[in-house]
Chains A and B, each alone.
Chain A
């Protein structure tokens, strides 16, 4: 089956450090979505990016969609322990019916 590449798989940071996760596709995307899953919880929608080069911010989180609409990133500034969890990108390829979820980046924040 299709796998959406997300890097890194794991990231450990000290509280206060920044964190970035990347999602890459070999094909052009209609849109990309980001989800967060807390340990033991379910994925929760964070944001959707649609336009080429789009940048959106949610407090300390910054989301970017590449100019070619083939990649995306999520950057967290000054991580806090509440940021702990797994961050997934989900891609909607042009012409496809469904999202394909990345394998996720598991973030651990050390207090």
Chain B
């Protein structure tokens, strides 16, 4: 959907580097989410945010940091990338708790 954009679409980096994935939505949705998608695991929630300045851990938060200073942006940072964090990362937003989510196109991240 054009209303939620992720950047970059593809990223290759090395272990130990810091990398930030960006997510921007134009719907003013209060909720935003970060998922990783790996073969055999489906979509696993990393972090979510119910509103600006409110964030909370999901299923697999270790090694990741998020912030939400503005409603429309929800960046995800890998502070010291590891090979196990190679994955496809999806950002999503929804207007309320438990409501349908709208996904971005994803970022394919490879860590060498």
Contacts and interface: CB of A to CB of B under 8 A. Distances in A.
Nearest to A102: B42
A68 interface: no
A99 B59 contact: no
Contacts, number: 52
Interface string A30-60: 1101000000011111001000000000000
Nearest to A97: B97
A110 B40 CA distance: 23
A63 interface: no
A33 B97 CA distance: 13
Interface residues of B, number: 24
Interface stretch (B10-18, B73-81, B101-109): B101-109
Interface string A72-93: 0000000000000000101010
Contacts of A92: 98
Contacts of A103: 40-42
Dominant secondary structure of chain A at its interface with chain B: strand
Contact of B103 (A4, A44, A100): A44
Nearest to B92: A43
Q: How large is the interface on A (under 10, 10 to 19, 20 to 34, 35 or more residues)?
A: 20 to 34
Given A1-B60, A2-B59, A43-B90, A99 B42 contact: no
A26 interface: no
A99 B101 contact: yes
Contacts of B42: 4, 6, 88, 101-104
Interface of B: 33, 35, 40-45, 48, 56, 58-60, 90, 92, 97-98, 100-106
Given A45-B102, A97-B97, A99-B98, 6 more contacts: A42-B106, A43-B92, A43-B103, A98-B45, A98-B48, A98-B98
